[in-house]
Amino acid sequence: MRTKTTFLALTAAAALGLAAAGTAEAQDDPTKACWIYVGPIGDFGWSYQHHQGLLQVEEELGDAVETAYLESVPEGADAERAIERFARSGCDIIFTTSFGYMDPTNKVAAKFPDVKFEHATGYKREHPNVATYNSRFHEGRYIQGVIAAKMSEAGVAGYIGSFPIPEVVMGINAFVLGAQSVNPDFKVKVVWANTWFDPGKEADAAKALIDQGVDIMTQHTDSTAPMQVAAERGIKAFGQASDMIEFGPETQLTAIVDDWGPYYVERVKAVREGTWEQIDIWAGLAEGHVVMAPYTNMPDDVKALAEETEEKIRSGEFDPFTGPINKQDGTPWLAEGEVADDGTLLGMNFYVEGVDDQLPN
């Protein structure tokens, strides 16, 4: 905990016009690492997993590190203040963990060149002290698609989307491609919740989808509500961001688990050792940033197929976006054997064939 004298010292420094100066790093002082979450740490999804990463940093680095976090920080005018507060309170590295923090992160980074900023899921690195990081969640989505097509009797799955940004569209497409590798006629129905975290809205979306006849539920939102609705209504579902098996012991087939811990440990260590550099990392199953929760509630043959698919993606033998793939309207996108490049994926604003939805535009 910070002491009052430190604040007085900081005030004095500000008065001397040294406000923008970062903290001088002595090797013995603990490195201060700070996180900003868009949801509550109890969402059991996105923010919860980032917080698990924070806890892993504390556990592995012990006294060498001091941590702090702010939860439920709205994207907008309040985010800039929250980030600046961290920068001024002596944080050496600040992780801003939602897309909407992109501009505020870069704005504050300009004022604090000695503080390192890491923005999750964004693409702007306007200053040398801003890095961006994200994971290839679509690799897990493909595996889920394979499982869904094997498990579904109706041949149609429900998909709860948050916002129609490339990240989410990519996930839907990977899911459809995975499903079509098993059943070429498989369909996906999409409902946009237009929120990252709102258990009420997410539950409503899940109910609407089930009423339309889907018998597999998957979600790109952060609460456990869709899993719980699926459990009540007796269909199967996939967990999102964290292992949600507790909320659907008979329901969860698997979950894409975001494992940020190793990355956070590595980056905080780099700050401590003075080796931190600006990067833009997009890692997946191979690097362990994306982990599949245990395959449960499915027959052995489906489990074996899922494991085989996972291994192929992990080893690099197979990429989910490998041609031939057509766009939704039937026009060809990737030729036989062609693999989509990262740039196209990161700007993805179209569906592939088989999605029963009109992309909002």
Partner 1 sequence: MRVELVKRPQRSALFSALSPFIALLLTLLAGAVMFLFLGKNPADALYYFFIEPLLETWSLHELAVKAAPLILIGVGLSICYLSNNWNIGAEGQFIIGAIAGSILPVAFPGFQSPIVLPLMLVMGIVGGAAYAGIPAWLKARFGTNEILTSLMLVYVAQLFLDWLVRGPWRNPEGFNFPETRNFHAYAILPEIWPASGRAHWGFVFAILAALVLWFVLSRTLKGFEVKLIGQSPRAGRFAGFSRSRMIIFAFLVSGALAGLAGISEVSGAIGQLRPAISPGYGFTAIIVAFLGRLNPLGIIAAGLVLALSYLGGEAAQISIGVSDKVARAFQGMLLFFVLACDTLIHYRIRVSRRLVAKPIEAPAGHA
Interacting residue ranges for partner 1, rule: CB under 8 A: 1-2, 4, 7-8, 10-11, 14-15, 19, 68, 70-72, 74-78, 80-82, 84-86, 88-89, 99-100, 103, 163-166, 169, 194, 347, 349, 360-361
From CA 17, how far away is CA 318, in angstroms rounded? 56
Residue appearing with tokens 């989307």: 161
- Nearer to partner 1 among residue 135 and residue 309 (C-beta): 135
**Closest separation in Å from C-beta 200 to partner 1:** 16
CB of 103 to partner 1, least distance (A): 7
Which C-beta is closer to partner 1: that of 14 or that of 21? 14
Select 79 or 237, whichever has its Cβ closest to partner 1: 79
Strand partners, 282: 134
Nearer to partner 1 (CB atom), residue 11 or residue 315 = 11
Coil, helix or strand for 104?
A: helix
Closest contact distance (angstroms) between CB of 312 and partner 1 is 30
Q: How far is the CB of 348 from partner 1 (least distance, A)?
A: 9
Cis amide linkage into residue 324, ω under 30° from 0: yes
Q: How far is the CB of 170 from partner 1 (least distance, A)?
A: 11
Tell me how far the alpha carbon of residue 354 is from its chain's centroid: 25
3 CB-contact burial (10 Å; exposed 0-12 / middle 13-18 / buried 19+): exposed
Tell me the closest approach of the beta carbon of residue 107 to partner 1, in angstroms: 9
Alpha-carbon span 199 to 55, nearest angstrom: 25
Contact 263, 53 (CB under 8 A): yes
**H helix runs in the chain, sequence order:** 4-15, 46-61, 77-88, 102-111, 137-151, 166-180, 199-211, 225-233, 261-273, 300-315, 342-346
- Smallest distance, partner 1 to C-beta of residue 223, A: 17
DSSP secondary structure string for all residues of 184-210: TT-EEEEEE---SS-HHHHHHHHHHHH
Cα 220 from Cα 163, distance rounded (Å): 9
Q: Which is nearer to partner 1, 1 or 335 (CB)?
A: 1
Distant-in-sequence, close-in-space partners of 254: CB < 8 Å, separation ≥ 6: 143, 144, 147, 238, 239, 292, 293, 294, 295, 296, 306
Nearer to partner 1, 72 or 322 (CB): 72
Min CB(16)–partner 1 separation in Å = 11
* CB of 270 or CB of 359, closer to partner 1: 359
- Can you tell me the distance from the alpha carbon of 271 to that of 33, in angstroms, rounded to the nearest whole number? 9
10: which 2 tokens?
Answer: 């900081």
